[in-house]
Structure 1
């Protein structure tokens, strides 16, 4: 498998104070199975969909306990260079580039509007072994209250081309690497309470959106939005029992015409 092109989402993980609880929840909702915890790397535990690595869960490091959240990693051939571009364009490097054995190198950063994300320079771990199949990652969106800053930042740090979705109801952009759309950007409106920080929302594929929502809420998850039909599939936004936000998408159940887009700066 070739390494992912620069700027393409390539991995997702989350810290959970109750890792066993997270494994049980996502195992039920997304059908994940889990590998052995790697004690050498803080009990990092990979999740699998049909035998393919699709994400990971890990307990927080001492002193880093707090709100659980999914972290999306964007691919880069040079994590140190990416860190420099983050700083040069008004972002903040939260964790300096760090070598993770022969797996690769990672960093954590925050864009000028407050969106936290990761960067992954692949070694032997190239990222997702599957995408777009049940249980696997399929899409992500940057939710920000300051789209101008966010757009300028991400297009300076990564080789993104941007297209504006022509929809009067929402301010939504699509970032592409080459001809492939890899990331969305949504402006947060008044429907988001002020205490909700800007964030990256990760979508996982499911065979049946409504059934996944039912399993999630039965297990203590909270339905935040939907289920709703769209040209991209039927989706819903959720929070797991430990507060980590994520979305589920049934890509087979589409409705409506694809929205038009126009090139944007």
Structure 2
């Protein structure tokens, strides 16, 4: 596999207190199967769709008794040099929360926070290059930063990664799209337009593709999941923003069910 362009989303994982519960939920809702947990790396467990690696789940790291961070999906962006990316994060108003840290021969990771508070990861690939399947049912398809400070987010990502930003030509919504070359790789929506509750910080919303959004919602609700928004038709697919029983929010989208014309993009 050729190395992904710098700034391209390349992997997603999440931490769950109930790992077996997460396996049951995502196995049913997204059709995932799971590999063996790697005890050497904190029981990190890869998820597969059609035998191809699409994400991973992991139990919490040992910490203070009674302290448990809420479950959340973390999106990683490709970097040829995680240490250099970490310096640009710091130099542009972001925070490096963890790393750079080598993960055996698999690669080097950084966990960071943008100036608006959204957590994301950086991944310098070793033997693990990232998603083996994308934009197909059961796999990662898109992500967007839901930002409480959109101007800061708009400045930050193109300063840290070689990305350009375009604005969706719409009077209804303030939506930006970051591009790696000509490839759109990340959206940005304001917290107000996403109706983000005041207690929820900025975050990166990760979307996984499904065959049928409504059928996936039925399975999700039967497993104790929550629908926060939608389902709604769009030019990009029928989508919904949902949450799993352990509190991790994510999106689902049927890429084959579209409605309306794709809005034009203009330079931001």
Q: Does 1:46 align with 2:50?
A: no
Q: Report the equivalent of 2:151.
A: 148
Q: Deviations over 1:16-62 (max 9, x none)?
A: 00000000000000000000000000000000000000000000101
Which residue of 1 is the match for residue 123 of structure 2?
Answer: 120
**Partner Cα distance (1:225, 1:161) in 2:** 29
How far, CA to CA, are the matches of 2:218 and 2:171 in structure 1?
Answer: 32
1:225 alignment partner, one of 219, 229, 247: 229
1:88 aligns with 2:91: yes
Out of 211, 214, 220, the position equivalent to 1:216 is 220
TM-score by length of 2: 0.97
Query: What is the CA RMSD across the aligned residues, in angstroms?
Result: 0.8
Q: CA deviation at 1:261?
A: 1.2
Correspondent of 2:178 among 168, 175, 180? 175
Other-structure match for 1:243:
247
Matches within 5 A, 1:9-158: 9-63=9-63, 65-158=68-161
The structural deviation recorded for 1:220 is 0.3
Q: CA deviation at 1:193?
A: 1.7
Q: In structure 2, what is the equivalent of residue 7 of structure 1?
A: 7
Q: Which runs of 5+ in 1 are unaligned?
A: none
What CA distance in whole angstroms lies between the structure 1 residues aligned with 2:88 and 2:31? 38
Q: TM-score, normalised by structure 1?
A: 0.98
State the alpha-carbon separation in 2 of the partners of residues 227 and 73 from structure 1.
26
Deviation at 1:133, TM superposition (A): 1.2
1:160 aligns with: 163
Runs of 4+ in 1 over 2 A off after TM superposition: none
Q: Distance in 2 between matches of 1:117 and 1:192?
A: 18
Instruction: Count residues with an aligned counterpart.
Output: 264
Cα distance in 2 for residues equivalent to 1:24 and 1:177? 35
Task: Show the counterpart of 1:259.
Answer: 263
- Report the CA distance between 1:65 and its aligned residue: 2.2
Give how far 1:170 is off: 1.3
CA distance in 2, matches of 1:144, 1:67: 19
Deviations 1:87-130 (A, max 9, x none): 00010000020000000000000011100000000000000001
Other structure's SS at 2:86 match? helix
Q: Does 1:188 align with 2:205?
A: no
SS for the counterpart of 2:17 is coil
